[in-house]
Chains A and B, each alone.
Chain A
Amino acid sequence: MSSRTLLWLVPCLIVWAVLPFIVPRNIADLLVFTGIYTVAGLGIGLLLGHCGIVNLAQATFYGLGAYASAYCTVMMGLPSIVGFFAGAAISMALAYVIGRPILRLTGYFLALGTLALSAIASALFFEWDWLTGGTLGIGGIPKLDLFGFLLDRPSRYYFFVWIVAFACMAVAHNLVDSRTGLMLRSMRDSSTAAAALSIDLQTLRTKVFVVCALFGSLAGSLFAHHASFVSTQSFTVDRSISFLLIPVIGGATSIPGIVVGALFVTFLPELLSKLGDIHQILFGLALVAVVVLMPEGLVGAFGKLRTRFAKRGGGHG
């Protein structure tokens, strides 16, 4: 690791470690949600930034993870870890089965396909109340207990959520950095040329969709153990759109961009809500401004700005 990397990494880690102890409880709570949304957003970022696929179905996998954790712990009395694994297994299996036919589509049709999946899942979460509790939901989901250490406060849960988020970031980074990542970049560059090079685009897209579902499910399970209550309200199409905003705002091809996007989606509505009834309009305007003025996301725009200043500085020297 270079000394330059350490120079910014060490202060960042120190801030990360002390943050939950110095901020009010509601902010610590938002930071937990930022971590959860980062996990969910990473999968969408992989699909959007590296495969050019707009996934509007992440709330489905988020819901499956949350309900699996809720059902396993509350209804069946199983350990929390079983819920995490059950949610991940179900989500990945569904992503594989649904992904094969849906991912044959391209462009708007593919986005509509994922939107349809989200709408169907949302309706099923509502209709299958014998399993999901419907609008009444499932309550009493236990807080996670890590070797006798109860994660019952946002300041404690924060560390667990962010360690999971960092692990997911490492997985995403390794995936992009591997030969599979090269194939993804080639597919984004020219799908015809990639196919002519004997790269199986369909299998590649499905693989990434399955990884995206895994991240969505993990985020859902984390949410369930944090909120202690899950209901259909949390897994609507609106939630899928919120998740999609994360890579769009932060930057789809960059992992820090996903974190920035998650911060934007969790903190901005909260900050704007202090301004009264017009907060939703202001949030919408902020979104439009970012998308129009910074099409490569906040992190991409920051990178451009830095390059411009570096050039200007070089010119004077």
Chain B
Amino acid sequence: MLEVTSVSAGYGALTVLRDVSLRVGDGEAVALVGANGAGKTTLVRTVCGLLRARGGRIVKNGTDITATPAHDLAKHGLAVVLENRRLFGELSVRENLILAETVGRKVRGADLRFSWDEVTDLFPVVKERMASPVELLSGGQQQMVAIARALLLQPDLLIMDEPSTGLAPKVVKDILLVIKALRERGMGLLLIEQNVGIASEITDRAYVMSVGSIVHEIGPGEWQTFLTDERLVNAYLG
């Protein structure tokens, strides 16, 4: 379980996040939606230890990880797929995965949640292009590699920042299928997404973010009500 309580964060003199609180239960899929510049990516960076929180608490499975550096993230069962994939373009697909596997094995020992074979079976494209430098892959293939790499860190909660950005609808559909398969295996998910249609398809509930704060909560079964309420959508998502 991930609990973010009253977190504030920013860059230099600029405060971006103000008093942000959210919760993702075990095996739950939660979306964080909001317009461009709402502070969604800043929240991801703060939760992942890439940006130091200025206030509040971040707790993962009962452990306070507010001041935990990014390199200790995997120990707490967290993995992140950053916006724009952030793969290592010069390295091959295999080398990208080996990096994650090395860290994942260090964290979990022999008790792996996802073995190499399971992960590569989940992504046939990844298996086919093992020797290719990542920079030669299409955007969709790169996204698959990014998710595969994150899984080899053996997380119980996956944070995905804008996984559909810049991808063709067919590719997005394939990625959603993979995410659904992961959910069936009990993987928790915090999905950061601008596209509420995609978010509503694979998450149980959501938080709406605007100007660095959570301004609305969409509860279980309330997605449809939110999406059909033009006033709410326009007010929060622009």
A residues lining the B interface (CB < 8 Å): 179, 182-183, 185-186, 189-190, 192-202
Q: How far is the CA of A88 from the CA of B174 in the complex (A)?
A: 55
Whether A199 and B103, one on each chain, are in contact in the complex, defined by CB atoms closer than 8 angstroms, is: yes
B82 within 8 A of A: yes
Give the A-B contact count at a CB cut-off of 8 A.
64
Known A-B contacts A186-B88, A189-B88, A190-B88; the reply to A197 vs B103 at CB < 8 A is: yes
Cβ of B231 < 8 Å from any Cβ of A? no
Q: Residue B98 at the A interface, CB < 8 A?
A: yes
B74 within 8 A of A: yes
- Whether, in the assembled complex, B149 has its beta carbon less than 8 Å from a beta carbon of chain A, the answer is yes
Q: Annotate B98-134 by CB proximity to A: 1 below 8 A, 0 otherwise.
A: 1110110001000000000000000000000000000
CB of B9 to closest CB in A, whole Å: 16
Q: Is there contact, CB below 8 Å, between B100 and A197?
A: yes
Query: Known: A182-B95, A183-B99, A198-B153. Contact between A193 and B82, CB under 8 A?
Result: yes
Chain A residues contacting B70 (CB-CB under 8 Å) are: 195-196, 198
Q: In the bound complex, how far is the Cα of B95 from the Cα of A183, in angstroms?
A: 10
Give Cα A195 to B80, complex, Å: 11
B residues sitting closer than 8 Å to A (CB atoms) are 48-50, 69-75, 80, 82, 86-91, 95, 98-100, 102-103, 107, 149, 153
Subset of 9 A-B contacts with CB under 8 Å:
A179-B98, A182-B98, A182-B99, A185-B88, A186-B91, A186-B99, A192-B86, A196-B70, A197-B100
Are B86 and A198 in contact, CB atoms less than 8 angstroms apart? no
Closest residue of chain A to B84 (Cβ to Cβ) is A193
Cβ of A196: which chain B residues have Cβ within 8 Å of it? 48, 50, 70, 73, 80, 82, 86
CB distance from A26 to the nearest CB of B (A): 43
Cβ contact within 8 Å between B88 and A179: no
Give the one of A192, A194, A198 with max B CB within 10 A. Answer: A198
Interface pair B91/A189, CB less than 8 Å apart: yes
Chain A residues near B48 (CB, 8 Å)? Answer: 196
Contacts of B86 in A (CB 8 A): 190, 192-193, 196
Residues of B close to A190: CB separation below 8 A: 86, 88
Q: Please determine whether A199 and B99 come into contact, CB atoms closer than 8 angstroms.
A: yes
Determine the distance from Cα of A229 to Cα of B184 in the docked complex, in whole angstroms. 72
In angstroms, Cα B50 to Cα A201, docked, is: 12
Q: Which of A182, A189, A193, A195 contacts B71 (CB 8 A)?
A: A195
Task: Tell me whether A200 and B71 are in contact in the complex, defined as CB-CB below 8 angstroms, given that A182-B98, A192-B50 are known contacts.
Answer: yes
A226 to B91, alpha carbons, bound, how many Å?
42
Residues of A within 8 A of B73 (CB): 196, 198
Cα separation A201 to B86 with both chains bound (whole Å):
16
A-B interface, 7 closest residue pairs, ranked by CB to CB distance from nearest: A193-B86, A198-B74, A200-B71, A195-B70, A189-B88, A198-B103, A186-B88
Once the chains bind, are A199 and B71 in contact (CB under 8 Å)?
A: yes
Q: Which of B75, B87, B107, B149 has the most chain A CB atoms inside 10 A of its CB?
A: B87
- CB of A179 within 8 A of CB of B102, answer yes
In this complex, what residue of B is CB-closest to A186? B88
Separation of A200 and B107 alpha carbons in the complex (Å)? 13
The residue in chain A whose Cβ has the minimal distance to the Cβ of B74 is A198
- Docked CA distance A192–B50 (Å): 7
Across the interface, do B89 and A189 meet the contact criterion of CB distance under 8 Å?
yes
Contact status A185-B91, CB under 8 Å: yes
* Complex CA distance for A199 and B79, rounded to whole angstroms: 12
Which A residue sits closest to B71, measured CB to CB?
Answer: A200
Please indicate the chain A residues that have their CB under 8 angstroms from the CB of B80 in the complex: 196
Closest to A199 in B: B71
Q: Which residues of B contact A193 (CB under 8 A)?
A: 82, 86-88
Residues on B with beta carbons closer than 8 Å to the beta carbon of A199: 71, 99, 103
Rounded to whole Å, the gap between the CB of A180 and the closest CB of chain B is 9
| Whole-angstrom CA separation of A186 from B88 in the bound complex | 6
Chain A residues with CB below 8 A from B74, complex form: 198
